[in-house]
Chain A
Amino acid sequence: MEYGARSSNSVKDTALVFERQRPRNRVLQMLRTAPIFPSVILLLMIVAAIFAPFMSPHDPAAIDLELKLMPPFWQEGGTSAYLLGTDSLGRDVLSRLIWGARVSVIVGLLAIVFAGALGSVLGMVAAYFGGKVDAIIMRIADIQMSVPALVLALILSAVLMPGLKTVIIVIGIVYWTWYARIIRGEVLSIKERDFIALAKVAGCSRIRILFAHILPNIVNTLIVLSTLQLGSVIIYEASLSFMGLGVQPPSTSWGLMLSDGRGYMTVAWWLMTFPGIAIMLVVLASNLLGDWLRDLLDPKRRQFKL
């Protein structure tokens, strides 16, 4: 009896130690391992997107033909008023970059939320219910994946009116298949585990099992997948805008800037270079952040104790 009492005490002590170290410290410890470069780039982009009206030195849509095609400030003919030069209509490139970040952030986040919600719900339903439901959903996904994404976007944009909303819808429709496939695979393995059987034994309904017991188990996958796809969504938005199917002037986006600058590539290198660099940095950053998150959320690769 005495032994039992003692052992239960020691268990209690360890439990208390665990308790004390918990929630806030854990988040801090996680954040401390965040890679600096991608975090800074993405933070900069988000700050630019939120505070664009305060940060941009000029109105991004103000046309002044007298100032057209001014080079960046360090080149001959450039001024410090237009740090990164001006485009063919005399609009400030830096201001347009900052406003363009807003479009990239909005499109990136909303399109990913849309694609993620659609794809994961369909993937979960396909895996959990199986049979015909599974066959129908996954064949639609297969068929859609066999159509080149840009062709699909062309068709959709022709049907819907080009604009920010359309871009988000198009990207959501193009990307849901990735979510559906990966989530389906995850759910297929999770639904065979005993705790799902026990949930049934305890009297849970199917919907409850799907959303209260299975969904929390795939959240990690969803987060990682979303960060990794952020980069590709931003590129996709840029390509749509580049082709004129995306954001319409006078709004601006990085893809649109590339497209506008194309005609002046030989005389004004800065028109395509700066938005190009912006896209590259952001995509690289989101991929690196996704890699970090994947390692962090995967217990097998976890480098430190939580």
Chain B
Amino acid sequence: MIIGPKEPLLVVDDLKTYFFTRQGVVRAVDGVSFSLTEGETLGLVGESGCGKSVTALSILRLVPEPAGRIVGGRILFQGENLLEKSESQMRQFRGSRISMILQDPLTSLNPVFTIGDQVGGPFKYHRRGGETRDITQKVVDVLKRVRIPAAASRLKDYPHLFSGGMRQRVVGAMAIACEPRVLIADEPTTALDVTIEAQFLQLLKQIQQEIGVALILITHNLGIVARICRRVAVMYAGRIVETGNVHRIFENPAHPYTKGLMDSVPRLGEKKQRLVTIPGQPPDMSTLPPGCSFWPRCEYAQEICRQEYPPESRLGEDGYVRCWLAEKQTQI
């Protein structure tokens, strides 16, 4: 592996995806920026509804229309702006260069087709497979890559014959079939039980090393992030509030929200009476308060937090935090 600064593979720059509903405009993603280099793993964490999944869908340009629209920003994939592509050009990217794994393996596979057919699908759409016989061989190869036992004999099986963990592997096989450069995993282990979850993450990590794909892991599970990500971005109310190296964030979280997240993870061996929680509710995204969107729940909130959204304050090599607290500290 090459060490040192690399050309970013994927750059998301000031992405804004809004939903226009009868209740008003929901700013699901409001100015998110991050970049990803070849083979890197980025964890995207945050509460439900903070815009993680919408960010992922925006990268693939699959935001549910007509309510949702990408209203601003750039998404550069190998230097090309995906937001300027036509729908048919976009299809060339989906599945072949950028692909995705969804939450629920039980509904991620079409119940009426065999595993062989479904995993072979991406090869056919993107004409990567060549002849039919070659496709079968490639399907077997990719199923072996996700460690499906006796892959060749299971091609004609239907999804209901597979367990949840195995189905998620099949979904993974479909996602990596065309050797994408970016793989987005949207809470891939939420529906799996804990032992299978560990297995699947292990597998994901191994595959990533084998084919050198960059991984965006969307999750609300900090344990997973700690285990397999190098960099983390914490999202709150449609914005990235803190990003940086995973060790730095875990040892020394700068944003009060990140701190709250870390504290609310129960740890073995600690004798606490109650679980620590972040007070209040996640904000209603259509009526965000002015200023920092976290201030109603923040114990350090000051006057300025209510008025203006904090700028990025640099932290470490590649991180930043958006909080007035940190901003003031750096000024001093």
Contact = CB atoms under 8 A, between A and B. Distances in A.
Nearest to A204: B125
B156 A203 contact: no
Interface in B91-121: 91-96, 99-100, 102-104, 107-113, 121
A17 to B, nearest CB: 10
A216 B113 CA distance: 8
Contacts of B100: 198, 201
A155 to B, nearest CB: 38
Most buried by B among A7, A193, A217: A193
Given A18-B161, A201-B94, A201-B100, A11 B125 contact: no
B95 A15 contact: no
Contacts of A15: 150, 153-154, 157
B126 interface: yes
A203 B150 CA distance: 29
B60 interface: yes
B171 interface: yes
Contacts of B91: 203-205
A12 B107 CA distance: 25
Nearest to A197: B102
Nearest to B93: A203
B149 A7 contact: yes
Interface residues of A, number: 28
Contacts of B154: 11, 15
Contacts of B262: none
Nearest to A206: B87
A76 interface: no
Given A193-B107, A216-B112, A202 B94 contact: yes
A257 to B, nearest CB: 43
A201 B91 CA distance: 8
Most buried by B among A19, A202, A216: A202
A303 interface: no
Interface residues of B, number: 37
A198 B113 CA distance: 14
A37 interface: no
Contact of A201 (B62, B126, B156, B157): B62
Contacts, number: 81
Interface in B64-111: 66, 88, 90-96, 99-100, 102-104, 107-111
Contacts of A195: 107-110
Interface in B8-48: none
A131 B66 CA distance: 9
Contacts of B92: 203
Given A11-B150, A15-B153, A194-B102, A203 B95 contact: yes
A8 interface: yes
Nearest to A299: B160
A213 interface: yes
A291 to B, nearest CB: 22
A217 B175 CA distance: 22
B102 A202 contact: no
Contacts of A198: 100, 102, 108, 171, 174
A15 B150 CA distance: 8
A12 B153 contact: yes
B187 to A, nearest CB: 12
A301 to B, nearest CB: 16
B165 interface: no
A165 interface: no
Contacts of B121: 199, 202
The 8 closest A-B pairs by CB, nearest first: A202-B95, A8-B149, A12-B150, A203-B94, A203-B95, A15-B153, A203-B91, A194-B107
Interface of A: 7-9, 11-12, 15-16, 18-19, 22, 131, 193-195, 197-205, 208, 213, 216-217, 219
21 contacts: A7-B149, A8-B149, A9-B150, A19-B153, A131-B66, A193-B107, A194-B102, A194-B108, A195-B107, A195-B108, A197-B62, A198-B100, A199-B110, A199-B121, A201-B94, A202-B95, A202-B99, A202-B125, A203-B90, A203-B92, A217-B111
